[in-house]
Structure 1
Amino acid sequence: MRFRWPWFYGVAPVLGALAGLLYGALFEVGPLTGSAIRGAIIGTPIMLYERRLLVPALRERIRGLATPLFLLATVALYIAMIVAGNAVASTVLNRLFRFMYSERNAMLMTDTGLLYALCISALAVFVFRVRDLIGPGVFANLLIGRYHRPIREERIFLFLDVAGSTRFADRHGDHAAQAYLGQVFNALALPVSRSRGSIDDYIGDLALVTWTMERGLRDAACLRCVFDFAERLAADADTWRSRFGQVPEFRAALHCGPVVTAEIGLERHKIAYFGDVVNTTARLESLSKSLDVRVLVSADLLARLGPLPTEFTREDLGAHALRGRAEPLAVAAIRCGPTAGAPALSGAISG
């Protein structure tokens, strides 16, 4: 996938420098330039870590922990990065800028500095955890109040259903099924993030993913997300088999069109979509099971995508009547090249 947000490598030092400037202004600690440099050096690794641009595998393991353990592990990691960053910053300030006379003393953090760093870290952990729980796109839109008033817009919808989850629950119990689905959806998070989509809801064993038209159409990002997810599952096949006894399988249906998007709820706010497009995508997901197709895409979306990238092929499956829709909808199966260790995404799915 191509979406790595290279611009954030420049944004992270700026955010760290701002935190350093705030500390210098509040506590009148040395030149503000030195505080900004220290903040940039300390803050950059933390921000890159939170954006999956630094030790992403470790972040995914910590992120999968229960919330209390997640908080403890993340704060402990932040402290380690703060201490290491402070040592590096002190060396840079002492040797390059001569802000401090004793390099050894400069590398020691004051109680105030450590407390400030811990408070900022705890706040960052809390904000990022809330962001993870409700989704980055939803979090940002709730903060700015974008959908406080209903907005009519066009979006791309993906309904991704984990196949065979009911049978898995019958064999292993509800607790094991919850752990299984939780890990499947954790694996889905990175492909969605890379494609700049948003996981807007989980409905049992189904994930609802959306994109704005601009983001989802760019280089067929909405399709790449699905096959990137399949590649992740195939790459970790041995781990899935050892832990759960099987590699997850899924069906995906994609459609696009106009919806009304609005913020709803009083005590628990949520961004919801209203319109025929959502219902049609749900019907397409059911149709994919009837047609025994892994990835089913509406002709409406394919027309908006234009010529597909060379790694994708389409098989037109004709027009099908969908419940609740007056006109039949033409659909196509989308396939990609074989994933290492797995068949191409075109075969039958059990369950």
Structure 2
Amino acid sequence: MGIFHSIRNWILISLFVASTGVIYGKLFFPESPIYIGGIFALFCGMPLLAFERRMFLPRLNDWMHRLPTPAFILSALVVDFLLMSVGYATAGSSMKLLGLVKASWEDLTVLKIDVYIYAVLVTAIVIFIGRVRELLGRDVFSSLLTGRYRNPVQEERVFLFVDLVGSTAFAEEYGDLKTQAFLGAVFGAMAEPVRRHKGAIDDYIGDAAIITWPLQRGVKNANCVRCVFNILDDIEKNAETWLKSYGRVPRLRAALHGGSVVTAEIGVDHHKIAYFGDTVNTTARLESLCKTLERQVLISSDLARRLELPEGIIKEELGEHAVRGRDQHLGVIALHTQDRQALKTVRGRS
């Protein structure tokens, strides 16, 4: 489903980029067929967006982003011009060879300055919207755009709290700057599994991330549970890279709970979608139980009853536990994969 979502996004972006080319053609070349402007726009604009997304030449992209701002802007303009020039020449040559246009080779292969400026502006708008969407999160961006939570709404949601173990000791050993880089890399590793399983990263608090789903989306196909173990599996698969870069592999604790919350848009200069209610607090308390119970992943019995666990996930009933700030005890279940359960048994015997 994550691949489908990504393909759908690229189709929508492509249609938007093509439409800007059609508009340009209608404004400045009204006699030309409308598809010509659309084809030029796609060949000029899409490589820039793909480069921005690090789909090709990722090392060049990373190097540019490490430059001081003036040097970055200059290098970006040069790279953009080169990519658009290649795209423009490719589109023009292709249409010329296919007999779709009759203009001269020079007109069809040499990028004009006005076309370059127009393409840069269109691409900048697309990139800006994408960056704001990433900054706020997909769900928050669309909710703020539509004003869905302008008035408080009561709804049911799933929450996942993921906490990095040993961040204080890491900071004492390596210092605050490297700790921040380590945290950033850990949070970055969560992004793709969250996106893949239709969740949204709501906030980062210290060394913890808060991830959420509308209840139906979170329990469908056990998205919330799959997300946790995908994050853990991805980190383990890249253990050598973590060791090489930071001297250790991140260890995480995670807790899942769901229930009723009040969701509202708050703030004046800085707007945010906020969640209020016992469900959020209970999830935080459940995550703190991970350390007490010496378990890596916990889920409340209430939430576990609402979903079917994926194949290969083992559940361990831990009974009911008192949770600070909650009158009633909470049923707690530990989740393991078969490999992790076997590893835990071996460690327990040693």
Q: CA offset at residue 157 of structure 1?
A: 0.4
Say yes or no: does 1:338 pair with 2:339.
yes
Residue 131 and residue 61 in structure 1: after superposition, are their counterparts in 2 closer, same or farther (change >3 A)? farther
Q: CA offset at residue 343 of structure 1?
A: 8.0
Q: CA offset at residue 48 of structure 1?
A: 5.6
Give CA deviations for 1:37-67 in whole Å, capped at 9, x if unaligned.
2223434445566678x44966995798699
The gaps in structure 1 that reach 5 residues or longer are none
AA partner of residue 90 (structure 2): V
Q: CA offset at residue 325 of structure 1?
A: 1.2
The 2-side partners of 1:107 and 1:298 are apart by 62
The 1-side partners of 2:150 and 2:68 are apart by 29
Asked which structure has the greater CA Rg, the reply is: 2
Partner of 1:18: 19
Q: CA offset at residue 130 of structure 1?
A: 2.4
Structure 1 vs Structure 2 CA RMSD:
3.1
Partner of 1:266: 268
Partner of 2:315: 314
The gaps in structure 2 that reach 5 residues or longer are none
Partner of 2:115: 113
Partner of 1:204: 206
Q: CA offset at residue 132 of structure 1?
A: 2.4
Partner of 1:224: 226
Q: CA offset at residue 168 of structure 1?
A: 0.7
Report if aligned partners of 1:75, 1:122 keep a CA contact under 8 Å in 2: no
SS at match of 2:305: helix
SS at match of 1:242: helix
AA partner of residue 290 (structure 1): T
Give CA deviations for 1:118-153 in whole Å, capped at 9, x if unaligned.
112222333222222222222222122221111111
Say yes or no: does 1:213 pair with 2:212.
no
Which range moves more in the overlay, 254-263 or 116-125?
116-125
Residue 347 and residue 194 in structure 1: after superposition, are their counterparts in 2 closer, same or farther (change >3 A)? farther
Partner of 1:301: 303
Report if aligned partners of 1:217, 1:304 keep a CA contact under 8 Å in 2: yes
Residue 9 and residue 119 in structure 1: after superposition, are their counterparts in 2 closer, same or farther (change >3 A)? closer
Say yes or no: does 1:124 pair with 2:126.
yes
Q: Count residues in correspondence.
A: 344
SS at match of 2:339: coil
State which of 139, 156, 159 in structure 2 corresponds to 1:157: 159
Q: CA offset at residue 16 of structure 1?
A: 2.0
Report if aligned partners of 2:41, 2:119 keep a CA contact under 8 Å in 1: no
Instruction: Name the % identity.
Output: 41
Partner of 2:325: 324
The 1-side partners of 2:334 and 2:56 are apart by 36
The 2-side partners of 1:21 and 1:114 are apart by 15
Say yes or no: does 1:94 pair with 2:69.
no
The 1-side partners of 2:331 and 2:313 are apart by 18
State which of 182, 186, 189 in structure 2 corresponds to 1:187: 189
Q: CA offset at residue 255 of structure 1?
A: 0.6
Report if aligned partners of 1:100, 1:106 keep a CA contact under 8 Å in 2: no
Q: CA offset at residue 312 of structure 1?
A: 1.4
Report if aligned partners of 1:335, 1:344 keep a CA contact under 8 Å in 2: no
Q: CA offset at residue 8 of structure 1?
A: 3.4
Which range moves more in the overlay, 170-179 or 71-80?
71-80
**Structure with the largest fraction of helix:** 2
The 2-side partners of 1:37 and 1:239 are apart by 41
AA partner of residue 36 (structure 1): G
Report if aligned partners of 2:225, 2:309 keep a CA contact under 8 Å in 1: no
Q: CA offset at residue 283 of structure 1?
A: 0.5
The 1-side partners of 2:315 and 2:77 are apart by 47
Q: CA offset at residue 346 of structure 1?
A: 9.0
AA partner of residue 21 (structure 1): V
TM-score (ref. length: structure 1) = 0.87
The 2-side partners of 1:119 and 1:28 are apart by 19
AA partner of residue 317 (structure 2): D
TM-score (ref. length: structure 2) = 0.87
SS at match of 1:146: coil
